[in-house]
Amino acid sequence: MKIYLKNKTTSEISKVESKNFSTLSRGVRDLNDEATQEEADVFILQESKDKTITQIKTNRNNANLLPLNSIQALEIIDNGDGSFTTSENSKNFLFNVAKTNTPLTESSNIINSALRGKVIRYSCAIVEGENIRKGYVEIDVTVAENIENHLIVRGQDNVALANSLEDEVNACTTIEEVEAIDINFS
Protein backbone atom coordinates (compact mmCIF):
# COMPACT_ATOMS: atom_id res chain seq x y z
CA MET A 1 0.00 0.00 0.00
CA LYS A 2 1.25 3.49 -0.81
CA ILE A 3 1.57 5.96 2.02
CA TYR A 4 2.22 9.64 1.41
CA LEU A 5 4.59 11.41 3.76
CA LYS A 6 5.15 15.10 4.41
CA ASN A 7 8.67 16.05 5.44
CA LYS A 8 8.54 18.02 8.70
CA THR A 9 11.36 20.35 7.63
CA THR A 10 10.79 20.92 3.90
CA SER A 11 7.05 20.09 3.61
CA GLU A 12 7.90 17.99 0.54
CA ILE A 13 5.55 15.09 -0.15
CA SER A 14 6.91 11.64 -0.97
CA LYS A 15 5.44 8.19 -1.25
CA VAL A 16 6.54 4.90 0.27
CA GLU A 17 5.26 1.36 0.29
CA SER A 18 4.07 0.33 3.76
CA LYS A 19 1.03 -1.16 5.52
CA ASN A 20 0.47 2.09 7.40
CA PHE A 21 2.33 5.00 8.96
CA SER A 22 2.91 3.23 12.29
CA THR A 23 4.84 0.37 10.59
CA LEU A 24 7.47 2.76 9.23
CA SER A 25 10.80 2.97 11.05
CA ARG A 26 11.07 5.41 13.93
CA GLY A 27 13.63 7.49 11.98
CA VAL A 28 11.22 7.91 9.06
CA ARG A 29 8.36 8.80 11.43
CA ASP A 30 10.57 11.32 13.26
CA LEU A 31 11.32 13.14 9.97
CA ASN A 32 7.86 12.94 8.43
CA ASP A 33 4.17 13.28 9.16
CA GLU A 34 1.54 11.37 7.28
CA ALA A 35 0.31 13.62 4.46
CA THR A 36 -3.33 14.65 4.39
CA GLN A 37 -5.50 13.26 1.60
CA GLU A 38 -5.50 16.70 -0.03
CA GLU A 39 -1.69 16.84 0.05
CA ALA A 40 -1.50 13.30 -1.36
CA ASP A 41 -3.94 14.22 -4.14
CA VAL A 42 -1.82 17.25 -5.12
CA PHE A 43 1.28 15.02 -5.17
CA ILE A 44 -0.46 12.36 -7.30
CA LEU A 45 -1.70 15.01 -9.76
CA GLN A 46 1.81 16.46 -10.08
CA GLU A 47 3.24 12.97 -10.68
CA SER A 48 0.71 12.48 -13.47
CA LYS A 49 1.58 15.85 -14.98
CA ASP A 50 5.33 15.14 -14.80
CA LYS A 51 4.90 11.73 -16.44
CA THR A 52 2.75 13.21 -19.21
CA ILE A 53 5.19 16.07 -19.87
CA THR A 54 8.06 13.57 -20.09
CA GLN A 55 6.03 11.58 -22.65
CA ILE A 56 5.28 14.77 -24.62
CA LYS A 57 9.02 15.48 -24.87
CA THR A 58 9.71 11.88 -25.93
CA ASN A 59 6.97 12.10 -28.58
CA ARG A 60 8.40 15.43 -29.81
CA ASN A 61 11.89 13.94 -30.13
CA ASN A 62 10.56 10.83 -31.90
CA ALA A 63 8.53 12.97 -34.32
CA ASN A 64 11.71 14.86 -35.23
CA LEU A 65 13.33 11.55 -36.23
CA LEU A 66 10.60 10.44 -38.65
CA PRO A 67 11.69 10.30 -42.29
CA LEU A 68 10.84 13.34 -44.39
CA ASN A 69 8.45 12.34 -47.14
CA SER A 70 7.64 15.62 -48.87
CA ILE A 71 11.02 16.23 -50.51
CA GLN A 72 11.55 15.94 -54.26
CA ALA A 73 14.75 15.24 -56.17
CA LEU A 74 15.81 13.97 -59.55
CA GLU A 75 15.77 10.18 -59.74
CA ILE A 76 18.98 8.40 -60.60
CA ILE A 77 18.39 5.28 -62.70
CA ASP A 78 20.66 2.27 -62.18
CA ASN A 79 21.44 1.03 -65.70
CA GLY A 80 22.37 -2.40 -64.34
CA ASP A 81 25.88 -2.30 -65.73
CA GLY A 82 27.44 -0.24 -62.97
CA SER A 83 26.50 3.05 -64.61
CA PHE A 84 23.77 5.49 -63.63
CA THR A 85 21.66 8.02 -65.51
CA THR A 86 19.99 11.05 -63.95
CA SER A 87 16.38 11.32 -65.09
CA GLU A 88 14.66 14.60 -65.83
CA ASN A 89 11.80 13.73 -63.49
CA SER A 90 11.68 14.71 -59.84
CA LYS A 91 10.37 12.09 -57.43
CA ASN A 92 9.18 12.26 -53.84
CA PHE A 93 11.47 10.25 -51.61
CA LEU A 94 11.91 9.38 -47.95
CA PHE A 95 14.87 11.08 -46.32
CA ASN A 96 15.95 9.24 -43.19
CA VAL A 97 16.96 11.53 -40.32
CA ALA A 98 17.33 8.87 -37.61
CA LYS A 99 20.84 8.13 -36.37
CA THR A 100 22.54 5.32 -38.29
CA ASN A 101 25.89 5.24 -36.48
CA THR A 102 27.52 5.02 -39.91
CA PRO A 103 29.14 8.36 -40.82
CA LEU A 104 28.56 8.05 -44.56
CA THR A 105 24.81 7.55 -44.11
CA GLU A 106 24.18 10.08 -41.34
CA SER A 107 21.66 12.67 -42.51
CA SER A 108 23.77 15.59 -41.28
CA ASN A 109 26.80 14.37 -43.25
CA ILE A 110 24.75 13.93 -46.41
CA ILE A 111 23.24 17.42 -46.09
CA ASN A 112 26.59 19.03 -45.27
CA SER A 113 28.35 17.33 -48.19
CA ALA A 114 25.65 18.49 -50.60
CA LEU A 115 25.70 22.02 -49.17
CA ARG A 116 29.46 22.12 -49.88
CA GLY A 117 28.70 21.42 -53.55
CA LYS A 118 29.06 17.66 -53.72
CA VAL A 119 26.23 15.85 -55.53
CA ILE A 120 25.15 12.81 -53.51
CA ARG A 121 23.59 9.65 -54.98
CA TYR A 122 21.22 8.81 -52.16
CA SER A 123 19.78 5.31 -51.80
CA CYS A 124 16.22 5.68 -50.58
CA ALA A 125 12.58 4.74 -50.81
CA ILE A 126 10.88 6.54 -53.70
CA VAL A 127 7.23 7.37 -53.13
CA GLU A 128 4.84 7.18 -56.06
CA GLY A 129 1.31 7.67 -54.75
CA GLU A 130 0.58 4.68 -52.54
CA ASN A 131 3.56 2.72 -53.89
CA ILE A 132 7.02 2.79 -52.37
CA ARG A 133 10.02 1.33 -54.15
CA LYS A 134 13.78 1.31 -53.68
CA GLY A 135 15.81 3.67 -55.80
CA TYR A 136 18.27 6.55 -55.89
CA VAL A 137 17.88 10.29 -56.03
CA GLU A 138 20.35 13.11 -56.56
CA ILE A 139 20.87 15.35 -53.55
CA ASP A 140 22.47 18.60 -54.63
CA VAL A 141 22.70 22.00 -52.92
CA THR A 142 19.08 22.89 -53.71
CA VAL A 143 17.68 19.61 -52.40
CA ALA A 144 19.93 19.77 -49.31
CA GLU A 145 18.70 23.30 -48.54
CA ASN A 146 15.12 22.10 -48.96
CA ILE A 147 15.74 19.18 -46.58
CA GLU A 148 17.44 21.45 -44.06
CA ASN A 149 14.55 23.95 -44.20
CA HIS A 150 11.97 21.17 -43.74
CA LEU A 151 13.88 19.83 -40.73
CA ILE A 152 14.11 23.28 -39.15
CA VAL A 153 10.41 24.04 -39.66
CA ARG A 154 9.35 20.59 -38.42
CA GLY A 155 11.56 20.96 -35.34
CA GLN A 156 10.17 24.43 -34.58
CA ASP A 157 6.58 23.25 -35.09
CA ASN A 158 7.15 20.26 -32.79
CA VAL A 159 8.69 22.45 -30.07
CA ALA A 160 5.74 24.85 -30.30
CA LEU A 161 3.27 21.94 -30.07
CA ALA A 162 5.15 20.42 -27.14
CA ASN A 163 5.18 23.76 -25.31
CA SER A 164 1.46 24.22 -25.92
CA LEU A 165 0.68 20.71 -24.69
CA GLU A 166 2.89 21.24 -21.63
CA ASP A 167 0.98 24.45 -20.81
CA GLU A 168 -2.29 22.55 -21.22
CA VAL A 169 -1.09 19.79 -18.88
CA ASN A 170 0.11 22.27 -16.28
CA ALA A 171 -3.31 23.98 -16.30
CA CYS A 172 -5.11 20.72 -15.44
CA THR A 173 -6.68 20.39 -12.01
CA THR A 174 -7.50 16.66 -12.17
CA ILE A 175 -5.80 13.50 -13.36
CA GLU A 176 -8.75 12.89 -15.67
CA GLU A 177 -8.07 16.20 -17.41
CA VAL A 178 -4.39 15.28 -17.81
CA GLU A 179 -5.26 11.86 -19.27
CA ALA A 180 -7.76 13.42 -21.71
CA ILE A 181 -5.08 15.44 -23.50
CA ASP A 182 -3.98 14.01 -26.85
CA ILE A 183 -0.18 14.10 -26.68
CA ASN A 184 0.52 12.41 -30.00
CA PHE A 185 2.54 14.15 -32.69
CA SER A 186 1.59 13.42 -36.28
pLDDT tens digit string along 101-150?
888 888 999 999 999 999 999 999 999 999 999 999 999 999 999 999 99
Please tell me the predicted confidence (pLDDT) of residue 128.
92
Q: What angle do CA 119, 122, 128 make, to 5 degrees?
A: 120
- Rounded Cα gap, residues 111 and 145, in angstroms: 8
Q: Give tens-digit pLDDT for 46-97.
A: 999 999 999 999 999 999 999 998 899 999 999 999 899 999 989 999 999 9
Please tell me the predicted confidence (pLDDT) of residue 142.
97
Characterise 82 by phi-psi region: left (phi > 0), alpha (psi -120 to 50), beta (else): left
Please tell me the predicted confidence (pLDDT) of residue 7.
96
Written as one string, the DSSP assignment of the chain is -EEEEEETTT--EEEEE-S-GGGS-HHHHHHEEEPPHHHHHHHHHHHHHHHHHHHHHHHHHHHHTSPEEEEEEEEEEE-SSS-EEEEEEEEEEEE--S--S-GGG-HHHHHHHHHTT--EEEEEEEEETTEEEEEEEEE-HHHHHHHHHHHHHHHHHHHHHHHHHHHHHHT--SHHHHHHS-----
Query: Poorest-confidence range of 38-52, 93-107, 154-168, 171-185?
Result: 93-107
Please tell me the predicted confidence (pLDDT) of residue 69.
87
